[in-house]
Chains A and B, each alone.
Chain A
Amino acid sequence: MSFPRPVATMREATGMPTGRLAVWWVIASEIVIFGGILGSYIMHRLGHPEWAHQSIHTNTWIGAFNTFVLLTSSLCAVLAHQEAEKKNGPGAARYLMFTTLGGLTFLIVKSIEWTNEIKHGYTITSNTFWSFYYTAAGLHGLHVLAGMVIMLIVAADARKGKELQRVENIGIYWHFVDVVWIFLFPLLYIAK
């Protein structure tokens, strides 16, 4: 039994592929979600000088390393897009796999970091600073995980030269996840 291609990949009434427009809408809604969390964090932080005693325990170097990892994975995502534009599916898939590897590295480092912090007694309920820390970084981590899963699916198709337009779509999402981390890093790791 065959199914027709979903209309979202073909219709261009808006002047751009609907799939890509959908990704931008996802990002627009994510701005409100992450913006709300970060905005709440900033306004509470300004009113709670005692949080400085807690934030001093986050590890700047680990945060910086993870920023490096995400920036590098973003480079791989945009190189995958470049390969997709050349209709080089296997090349795009290879770069998407590197991007996914970056996401995996990020999550492994994060889990080691969190294990260490929890062992030292800094849990999500120990203080409002840590509540924000685990909520913001945890939600971001879930986005990294979701991006990795989607990227593996897109890469599997791209390897066969199919649905190459999706390489750019998942790339746009991944760069947004990178942008969120670019703001989380100074807020959680540098502002002591």
Chain B
Amino acid sequence: MSADAHAHPSYVKIWGILLALLVVSVLGPLLEIRVITLITAFGIAVVKAYIVVRYFMHINLEKKYVAYMVGSMIVLMVLMVGAVTPDVMHHDGANWYNQAAADEVKRGMAAGEKDEHH
């Protein structure tokens, strides 16, 4: 971007906002309430990423096709993960059963509980 193309925001101020969001994302989950953990840890991660991409990487000042290029990769990635997730996160379906995964969960849970007792 050329020097005269745009006025810079206060980068130190943006950095301060990012640090404040970091503090919230660490402290929020300490409350151990599932919804608050999801919002403070993952919701804030999305906000932090948006701030970095917009104000540090200046994607809004690039040619429009840069955002489309990057955005289409995110869409492809979400499609791939979304298509595979139901088969990976569940260990059984109408006509199949993932014995190895179910055994792994059982073994891991038993080992974890044993560790906690020690």
Interface residues of A (CB under 8 A from B): 14-16, 21, 24-25, 27-29, 31-32, 35-36, 39-40, 42-44, 46-54, 60-61, 64, 67-68, 71-72, 74-75, 77-79, 82, 85-86, 127-128, 168, 171-172, 175-176, 178-179, 182-183, 185-186, 190-192
Contact A182 B52 (CB under 8 A): yes
Chain B residues positioned under 8 Å from A191 (CB to CB): 37, 41
Chain B residues positioned under 8 Å from A71 (CB to CB): 15, 18-19, 22
Q: Does B35 contact A (CB under 8 A)?
A: no
Q: How large is the interface on B (under 10, 10 to 19, 20 to 34, 35 or more residues)?
A: 35 or more
Contact A43 B108 (CB under 8 A): no
Main secondary structure of the interface of B (DSSP, over half): helix
Chain A residues positioned under 8 Å from B3 (CB to CB): 85-86
Contact A47 B101 (CB under 8 A): yes
Q: Does B8 contact A (CB under 8 A)?
A: yes
* Contact of A182 (CB < 8 Å), options: B48, B80, B88: B48
Q: List 16 A-B contacts (CB under 8 A).
A: A27-B70, A36-B80, A47-B91, A47-B105, A49-B105, A51-B108, A53-B113, A54-B108, A71-B19, A71-B22, A74-B56, A75-B11, A168-B1, A183-B45, A185-B25, A190-B25
